[in-house]
Amino acid sequence: MLILWDFHNVLPWNSTRLTSSLLSPHVPAGHMAPCTIPIRWMLSKLQTSAAYWMQLDMRCVRWSEKIMLFQHALQNMMHGIDVFFQIWEAIVSRRAVEDPSLLTRFVLLTFADLKKYHFYYWFAFPALCFPESIVLTSPPVDLGDLYSPQQISALHAAYDDLCSQEGTTALPCFLIGPLGGEVVAAAPLRDWEAFNCRHAKVTVVAFDPCTLSNHPGWPLRNLLVLLTHVWSVTQVEVLCFRDRTTFGNRNSMHSLLLSLHLPQLPSTDCPHIAGWEKNEKGSLGPRMVDLSDCMDPLRLAESSVDLNLKLMRWRLVPSLNLDTITKTRCLLLGVGTLGCHVARTLLAWGVRHMTLVDNSRVSYSNPVRQPLYEYEDCLAGGKLKAPTAAEKLRKIFPGVTAQGEVLSIPMPGHPLAGEAKAVAEEVARLENLVASHDVIFLLMDTRESRWLPCLLAASQRKLVINAALGFDTFVVMRHGLKLPREDDNGLSDQAAAQETAAGAPSSLACHTSLFSDIPGHRLGCYFCNDVVAPGDSTRGRMLDQQCTVSRPGLAPLAGSLAVELLICVLQHPKGGYAPASVADDRLDEPPTVLGLVPHQIRGFLSRFEHVLPASHAFDKCTACSPVVLEEYERNGFAFLHRVFDSPHTYLEDLTGLTQLHQETQTAEIWDISDDETV
């Protein structure tokens, strides 16, 4: 299957003019990148001689046996490249003056080997070349560097009015008078003589598709040849108009303003034509896309799953870093209502490595609220949640690496009762899991079950995303990411803690709020706002009181926000050390391509409201304070054993919370006036 595409109109295949100049290796400087299409189509290397012989050099195909089948079709195809010369004919006949779009044709040659799923394509962007170089009389200047936004808006208004008068939505080129006033005069290219008589200075505006900062696109060459041939122009000012709209904001401040000296064309003969695209090897020839691997259902599923994310990057967020998201290894502690929704949203964002940890079984009440389980999973006592959820993720998308770990997390206030060895093994497994992942999600039911993972993640400098539910409220937060043992500036953890304990850092002095722009390493964890240590919260409670009771829509909201918070952190240049965004930042320029990076998101479903508080790390925190981290790193499981077996007063004594309580009570006593009577 061999196809010639002319992207302006249908051409008669009756021309016999074809010279080797078409295959010139001199591609115009700053030429536009080829149009991107989802599956890039395909043809082989073309070579011509006086006899118009064409040879195909197709990879992975034995053309010695097949070339004769295509020779006739290929020779006829070469006649279709008359489009190159039709650009020059449009200039000579002045048809391009009336219709400048005739200058912007391009050609696409394609070939598809459907047996091997090899697709070949070759673009040609015809550009007429002057015999001598075009001279820049002054360096290129961005439009935004010379004119104010109001003056550029006047240019936009003039262009929009001209498009309306011409009955079109876009013009490839047009003329404007002097910029800088409140009103800009504009006219089509065909009014060249009259417009030059009315204005002392005329600028030629060419719609520019190029994305290079200091180079115009390939269509400009043909326009300059038109100006020289028709009106003998030698000096011209050209505005390479880059009118783009992103997120609803129109912007052309990056347009290029060029002052050019044009050489004369020697005769009426067709000038040299260049424009064949080079392949990935830098030589003239087609490019090839091998889609044979994509015919595998698993590969097809993988490419289809990523399509929405790639469309986001192609159409809306060009700087979205999908590779960072894909490579992030996530550890989900808790695979209940929150864990299921978090896992599904991570899958949708392209995360390919997840480990799910839980020790419970699927019950009959779970499937309606937890989308990774079904009724069959509840039978015969219920399947274990972690391996079942991992299996369901692999069924949903076979390309994910999902592993289920059945593990009980030891908790403060829950004595070991002679099982110290077994608990030590579980702690070691959890330590290894935390060490082998990049992000830790805390999605458990009880407060005390989050203490040990919080401590381990802080010690190992791992990012933690925490989500917790009430009846109609939720909190989603990222924990402060501790600095390395000693960062590049020599600031140790202890020094950072002392600075935090002393108050807000000096950089906050100019802000009105103590909680503005808190650096990522000074943000608090889940336990930093508590003045009591975690303990056994289920003791003495009935079974119905031990269950988390939430409105059904709350977990999907909190789970989705937890993942979206992670994605925003990954897109920030500082990652987990990103400063906290607060509600007052909503009107400012967002710190990432996806928006704010808050410390906490607290939701109130009864009011359909979110708030974005931020808080400093607490130097007496029972989970992440320096004294707790130091004690754990020095004594290891011996310290944890004591925390598990002791009441909550041990951690409070260690961190100084007990002394804080006593000082508070003493202060309250002194506040009582001596003359108060009962």
Q: Please identify every residue annotated as catalytic.
A: 547
Is 497 in contact with 503 (CB distance < 8 Å)? no
Concatenating the DSSP letter of every residue in 407-460 gives: -PPP-TT---TT-HHHHHHHHHHHHHHHHT-SEEEE--SSSGGGHHHHHHHHHT
Strand order in the sheet with 173-176: 135-142, 256-261, 235-241, 203-207, 173-176, 186-187
Reduced to 3 states (helix: H, G, I; strand: E, B; else coil), residue 149 is: helix
Query: Whose structure tokens read 């020059």?
Result: 88
DSSP 401: E
In angstroms, the CA 519 to CA 505 distance is 9
Rg (CA), the chain: 34
Q: Residue 39 is which amino acid?
A: I
Instruction: Using the Cα atoms of residue 470, residue 337, residue 558 and residue 608 in order, give the sign of their dihedral.
Output: negative
Token pair recorded at residue 677? 């009577």
Is 410 in contact with 644 (CB distance < 8 Å)? yes
Concatenating the DSSP letter of every residue in 180-225 gives: SSSS--EE-GGGHHHHHHH-S--EEEEE-----SS---THHHHHHH
Is 220 in contact with 205 (CB distance < 8 Å)? no
Q: How many CB atoms lie within 10 A of CB 470?
A: 15
Sorted by sequence, the CB contacts under 8 Å of residue 172 that are 6+ apart come out as: 100, 101, 103, 104, 206, 207, 219, 223
In angstroms, the CA 466 to CA 431 distance is 18
Concatenating the DSSP letter of every residue in 577-610 gives: GPPPB-GGGGGSPPSBTTB--BSEEEEETTTTEE
Is 175 in contact with 163 (CB distance < 8 Å)? no
Concatenating the DSSP letter of every residue in 240-288 gives: EE--EEETTEEE-TT-EEEEEEPPPP-SSSPPPEEEEPB-TTSSBS-EE
Is 283 in contact with 292 (CB distance < 8 Å)? no
Q: What b/e string do you get for 41-71 counting C-beta neighbours within 10 Å, with b at 16 or more?
A: bbbbbbebeeeeebebebeebeeeeeeeebe
Instruction: Using the Cα atoms of residue 589, residue 595, residue 597 and residue 600 in order, give the sign of their dihedral.
Output: positive
At how many degrees (to 10) do helices 420-435 and 451-459 cross?
50
Pairing of strands 439-442, 329-333: parallel
422, 213, 426, 246: which is closest to 318 by C-alpha?
246
Q: Residue 3 is which amino acid?
A: I
Phi, then psi, of 453 in degrees rounded to 5: -60, -35
Q: What b/e string do you get for 380-417 counting C-beta neighbours within 10 Å, with b at 16 or more?
A: eebbbbbbbbbebbeebbeebebbbbebebbbbbbeee
End-to-end CA distance of the chain: 102
